[in-house]
Amino acid sequence: MLRKYPDTSLQDIYKSCFQDYFGPAHAILSRDVARKYIEQELKSVASTDTNYYEPCGWRGNYYRVNLSVVTDSILSIDELADAFYRSAPEQTPPADERWVNEWNRTLKILYEAVTENASRISRNSPLILHFTADSTAIADMLAQGKYVVHHSDRYNELYHPHYRIVSREIFEKEILPRLPSR
């Protein structure tokens, strides 16, 4: 993630790991609402991104499927909305102790990587932006029983993310075969 998005903050990494752990459950009210949001968001997409997908986190449970699959006529809005909707568990899982433990293990690995790279900073070994401030804010949020974050303002400004989360099973079976080879 840091190679592709060097200005990624810890907040953005948390979001990616959260998406890979929980999928899109926190974002879906109904299939029709999901479709309407995609339709609205497509109006604000300035250009198409031929990077059609990427894994959410290190486990590979879910993929971020770029809305360019719709603008490039690979999938219809209905097909993407349906894949997104079917990818969500029936109930929004709580931010329980398992998630907090998972995040804390991930945070420890990230901290060790940041500490190790701090002594050899270069353009090729980026550090995670806002590591200390974001780790404190995330810990406070989790302590309050909250767990959903948005992308950081800087991430939105630089990378213009426009995607939907789709489970690995649905993505690999229904979407990946339709994508052009790269």
The whole-number pLDDT of residue 69 equals 94
Structure confidence by residue, pLDDT tens digits, 107-118: 999 888 777 665
Taking a C-beta distance cutoff of 8 angstroms, is the pair 159, 129 a contact?
no
Neighbours of 141 (CB within 10 A): 15
Rounded to an integer, what distance in angstroms lies between the CA atom of residue 164 and that of residue 161?
10
Phi first, then psi: what are they for 35, rounded to 5°?
-65, -45
Which of these ranges, 47-51, 52-56, 73-77, has the smallest mean pLDDT? 47-51
Rounded to an integer, what distance in angstroms lies between the CA atom of residue 22 and that of residue 26?
8
Rounded to an integer, what distance in angstroms lies between the CA atom of residue 13 and that of residue 151?
9
Domain ranges of the chain: 10-178
Structure confidence by residue, pLDDT tens digits, 63-98: 999 999 999 999 999 999 999 999 987 655 666 788
Neighbours of 132 (CB within 10 A): 11
Structure confidence by residue, pLDDT tens digits, 104-158: 999 999 888 777 665 554 444 457 888 889 999 999 999 998 888 999 999 999 9
Taking a C-beta distance cutoff of 8 angstroms, is the pair 49, 66 a contact?
yes
Rounded to an integer, what distance in angstroms lies between the CA atom of residue 129 and that of residue 154?
10
The whole-number pLDDT of residue 63 equals 97
